[in-house]
Amino acid sequence: MAQAQLVRPKVKQRPAMQQQLRPVETKVEVEQSVKLQQVVQQKQSLQMVQTLLGASIGSLAYIRRLFPDQCFTKMLYTHEIAEDYGKFCNAPEVDTREPGTKITRLQKGVTAEADIFLGWLENGVFQAISDGYLKAMQVYITSEKDRADTVIESYTFSFSYLDTTVSLSVGGHKVTVGSASQSARNVTRRLLSVTEDLSALPEQPWLAIHLHYADHTPDDYNAPGFKRLNISEPGLVIQGSDIARYNCGAMDSGYHGVSLRVSSLHDKKDQRVGSRRGRRAGSRFFVDEDVEEPPVGSLEPFSKRSATIKKDPPITIPDSQQSSSSDEHRRNETSVIATQSVLGFKAAPTGGLSLRLS
């Protein structure tokens, strides 16, 4: 006859001194962490501005279908890429399912139109920023060729520069690589969110670019590939009863500041947008109002500018004023860029004002 036995479960003995396992940082992770805490140098700051512009232009061009799909490359917007425009241009394509902030780069050598546009950016705009003369760049889309009064949407990048004669004498304007690249990614994310919500473009849009020079720019200065516009040249205008304006925030890279504003005409027939905030009721919106005045002597105000949707009070321009000249409008306008002397000089590409998009 079998007898039941009480069996005591075996207890695994713990070692007298059990070491707690902690994740060990690799050499690469340690180096990256140290890099992110470093203060941005002047050359790095310029590279960060260039990369932000490249990332923003490529992403908005892709979402708005300004060029054929084969003109674009999907990539991750990492800290390493944010501080080096060369690495940005050569970064490999990534799977869209890969985690991280993904952007789209406009690629050279695919279409003539894309190459022309990249030439405007890399040869003219980048040089004007390097020289410290570029106050703003406006990338805009019109429904008719070379017609400033048929603007459908605009993307206004405003620039500011550290006054080293003032700021460096009291310790400089210290911004880390990590914080600068993070703010650049935040601007790009906000831009992606805004552009995905805009109304559909017409079948045959035109793409163009305007530059605004700072007040201290020499009279004979021209960015490569650009020419000065006559002071009587009409300003860019969005005409319609439903105009949306967005503030996509700003990046402070230590020696440069960049802010971005988007304005767009909402097509009432396009119901994708729904009850979108930030609209402005009126018959005309002068796009130059999106150009921001740079802070004086310091870039600190840029770090305080957040991404918001600007909600303007309704403005309606009487029909009797519709035919007024741009100069007359500037005299009566209450914005900070009311006069040509405040705006600085304007410039447009020498080879033609607009690019026809398929």
For 207-225, what is each residue's pLDDT tens digit? 999 999 998 899 889 999 9
| Tokens describing residue 4 | 């039941």
**Residue 261: pLDDT above 80?**
yes
**Residue 14: pLDDT above 70?**
no
Q: How many CA atoms lie within 13 A of 45 on its CB side?
A: 24
Specify the pLDDT at position 331.
28
pLDDT 10s digits, 87-132:
999 988 887 777 777 889 999 999 999 999 999 999 999 999 999 9
Q: What is the mean pLDDT of residues 178-189?
A: 88
**Residue 265: pLDDT above 90?**
no
**Residue 140: pLDDT above 90?**
yes
**Residue 12: pLDDT above 70?**
no
pLDDT 10s digits, 46-56:
999 999 999 99
Specify the pLDDT at position 86.
92
Specify the pLDDT at position 15.
55
Specify the pLDDT at position 70.
94
Specify the pLDDT at position 23.
57
**Residues 320 and 284 sit within 8 Å (Cβ to Cβ):** no
Q: How confident is the model at residue 304 (pLDDT cuts 50, 70, 90)?
A: very low
pLDDT greater at residue 288 or residue 152: 152
Q: How confident is the model at residue 69 (pLDDT cuts 50, 70, 90)?
A: very high
**Residue 133: pLDDT above 80?**
yes
CA–CA distance, 165 with 182 (Å, rounded to integer): 27
pLDDT 10s digits, 165-182:
544 433 346 788 888 888
- From residue 283, alpha-carbon distances to 185, 243, 264, 306, 338 in Å are 34, 9, 13, 28, 19
**Residue 157: pLDDT above 90?**
yes
| Tokens describing residue 92 | 């490999």
- From residue 224, alpha-carbon distances to 117, 168, 343, 356 in Å are 13, 30, 20, 22
Average pLDDT, the chain: 74
